[in-house]
Amino acid sequence: MEKTIPSRLATLGHPQRLALFRLLMRRYPDRLPAGEIAEVLGLKASTLSTYLSALMQAGLVTQQRAGTSLMYSVDMSAVRQTFDYLLLDCCRGRPEICAPVYSSPYTGLTAMTGQTSHGQKYNVLFICTGNSARSIFAECLLGDLARDRFNVFSAGTRPGGALNPFAVEVLKAKGHDTTHLRSKTTAEFTGPGAPQMDFVFTVCNQAANEECPAWEGQPISGHWGMPDPVKAAGTDAEKSLAFQQAYGALKRRIEAFAALPIETLDRIALQRAVDEIAGQDIAGQEQDTSK
For residue 271, with 0-12 CB atoms within 10 Å meaning exposed, 13-18 middle and 19 or more buried, which class applies? middle
57-61, 135-139, 175-179, 205-209: segment of lowest average pLDDT: 205-209
Local confidence band at 118 (pLDDT 50, 70, 90 cut-offs): low
Q: How many CB atoms lie within 10 A of CB 247?
A: 25
pLDDT at position 161 over 80: yes
pLDDT, position 33: 92
Q: Which domains does the chain have, with CATH numbers?
A: 4-77 (1.10.10.10), 109-278 (3.40.50.2300)
pLDDT, position 128: 92
Cα 139 from Cα 155, distance rounded (Å): 9
Q: Which residue has the higher pLDDT, 197 or 282?
A: 197
Q: Which stretches within the chain are classed as H helix?
A: 4-12, 15-27, 34-41, 45-57, 76-84, 95-102, 134-146, 165-173, 205-209, 236-258, 267-278
For residue 126, give the nearest of 111, 115, 142 by alpha carbon: 142
Give the model confidence (pLDDT) of 28-67 as tens digits. Answer: 888 999 999 999 899 999 999 999 999 999 999 999 998 8
C-alpha count within 13 angstroms, C-beta hemisphere, residue 164: 25
For residue 145, with 0-12 CB atoms within 10 Å meaning exposed, 13-18 middle and 19 or more buried, which class applies? middle
